[in-house]
Chains A and B, each alone.
Chain A
């Protein structure tokens, strides 16, 4: 309890702590309007302090094609470029700590082992290479632990989350034991190339892959045949499993959209995420499973809440070209994106967040403001300020154009429906429109 005794004159400390409170509502009139004004100020300040760009890691000599997070060290990240070079970065120092010429041609995919001691890369030279995370000792040569020579090009790789098993994709999905040089099993469904494969982090026997015949195919490692597949309108580039909800995954599609599916009900996606104005190339979930980040050919990355159809944030810079790969760090604070123009960029996941240790009062104020913003988020003035983002002209005009196109299509549908027999043109929801079929 704050003492009400008057502070000894001249002592600043005593005066500072002497704050008697009385929470009687009659002493605090205009509660709602004052809170509204505070919320408005908090929203404005949020936009003022929204400076998400932290650093750019340069050193690659070609576009960054793939990245991998270190499962044990927050400060380490791996990246593979289009010239076959793999770099390991220290994020706190923002330096490259190791460079390997891993492949000839592209590094197509890479993944770290769950223990963090080694990592795998696949490349255009039809090889799978297993590398140590630590550099070679003095006098030793930079060499992989194992090299597996395959018959076809591998386009992606992912490691099992608990066991010494990894999966590659290319013409088929192969599942490998780390100790063997031939796959344990190969899974195919139709003849086509498969662009990415991902293990489910919770139900660790499940796999998802995207094929270039517009399919997303799901596999169970314990079976010799695939589980089921869903055919979409256009090709899916990658998918990412939700780390908190075992059934949920999000697919990054060529038709500018992302689709979140529940793997039990593939007929309708749970949510269609639209905002990109070009093909979506990569997607990665935040460790909370509430949001994900997507990288697009339109030179921007966007952050989507899982349950919302539109993005809450868009990041871009003048120099960032087509973004090919993106990762959300395991501490839920940072986002890394690798793009065509050879740079890896480090962003804050929450644009206006203050980094570093917060004082207790600072933290309390932040929480209070957060709650206020949430409380008044639907008020038009506040909504307008919170939603406002500056976009590069290209994206802005493209989005506008697409809006016009969508509007025209909608109008045409409406006119058709008006002039036809009621019920003959059923209304198909946006979610159902893009799914062609589900095959079991």
Chain B
């Protein structure tokens, strides 16, 4: 079973005024363990697509099925719960809750899931070690660099044991060194844990590391390349 399967996704913003067709029929299937970059010019619909896949936004038409669940059948409350248990998120920047330390941020989602405190602590610590921040676990986001903050965000995304991790331009605010490090780390997690990653990016060096590159142009899939 595919982790993500979308059929005929369209999204029209401002339907009643000047309509903006952000997506025009996107069929996309993502299998477990894939490492997929969604690329395309600005305004091509990358963010819109990722938001719909993760149940943050609703398509105007079409369906999204995540691990067999049709997201359109879920209520708002069920969607929040679904995201909590099935999807890991990494956003462009300011992912973290400013008043919580790195380890508390990682544990946050697990605590939301109601896991025992001990498990939350141990898993969070292990994940922070894995992303190379063993010495920063008690730092607040404001004390971390942008790249370190994004790594904490990746650790948090993984902590909930999601079906896939979704990252909208995770490197957009990072310098090239930090971008490279973040990507290496994501790739490593992808290989070691077989974690599915879907991310959008503009950065050619990031694109070069992806195994699959889906190019959106004007709300449609223009190219879908597998690389090895």
A and B: interacting chains: no
